[in-house]
Structure 1
Amino acid sequence: MATFNGTEGSTIELEQAVAWTANYRKEAITEPNGIVTKAHFYGRDILQKLLDQEGCMGIRMYYARDEKGQKQLVLVGADAEGNDMEGIVVDNGKVCPPDCDTQGNLNG
C-alpha cells in the first residue's frame, strides 16, 4: 500500500504542459452538449476545506460523468495510507468552456 506524506507531485515546464493539453484537445471526445471539456476550476476555500481535514495529505481527483454524460471531477482528501477521506466530497467546479482562461497558453 502506498504511503503519502504531502509532497507528492512536482512542477513541470510550461512547454510540456502546453504540449500535453494540446494532445488532450486533439484526442478529446465531444461531450453531449457538443463541447469538449478542457478544465475545471475549484476555489481556494473548498480546496482548503478538503486539505484541512485531520490527517489529510493531499487531494485525489476522480474522473466522472454526471447523469447528463458531462465530464466531471470528483475530489476527496487522501490520508497518509492513500485512503480516500470521504467526509467531504467535492464537485461543481466551474467548467471550461465556458469559464476558461482567455490569455494563457494551456487553453490553446
Structure 2
Amino acid sequence: MAFDGSEGGPISINEASEATKRWRDTNPGQIQGEFWGNEILQTLMKQEEAVGLRVHFGLDKEGKMQSFITAVRKDESDILSIVADFSCPCPPRCGNPNPLNS
C-alpha cells in the first residue's frame, strides 16, 4: 500500500465526544489532548516527499502520555530528519470547556 495524502476525514462531534469521554473515563490523570502550533506542522509538511503526518505515542519519565509527530512519505515511511515534540498538553492548556475536553 501507499499513502496518497487523502487519508483521514471528518467525523461527527458526537462520535468524537463519545470517544474522548471514553478516553477520559478510562485514563484519569492522563493527557486529554495536545496542541502543536502551525509553525512546526508546516515545517514538517514542507519536507521533501511529505504527504502527511504520523503521531507516535510514548511515555515521559513520569509515566504521562507523550506524543511525537513525524512527516510521512507515500511509501508509509517516517521522515526522521525532524521529530516534533514540545506540544502544549491538555490539561492544563485545554481552552474553554467543550464536548471534546469536558
Structure 1 length-normalised TM: 0.89
Shift in Å, 1:68:
2.5
Q: Does 1:83 align with 2:89?
A: no
Paired residue secondary structure (1:17): helix
Shift in Å, 1:16:
0.6
Shift in Å, 1:37:
1.0
Paired residue secondary structure (1:85): strand
Q: Which of 43, 47, 51 is residue 57 of structure 1 equivalent to?
A: 51
Unaligned runs of 5+ in 2: none
Q: Does 1:36 align with 2:30?
A: yes
Aligned to 1:70: 64
Aligned to 1:103: 97
Give the letter aligned to residue 18 of structure 1: S
CA distance in 1, matches of 2:95, 2:13: 15
**Deviations 1:40-89 (CA, angstroms, capped at 9, x unpaired):** 10000100100000110100001111222221001100000000000110
How much identity, in percent, do the aligned residues show? 30
Q: Bigger shift: 96-105 or 51-60?
A: 96-105
Superposed structure 1 runs of 4+ greater than 2 Å apart: none
The answer on whether the counterparts of 2:56 and 2:67 sit within 8 Å (CA) in structure 1 is yes
Query: Aligned pairs, how many?
Result: 102
Structure 2 length-normalised TM: 0.94
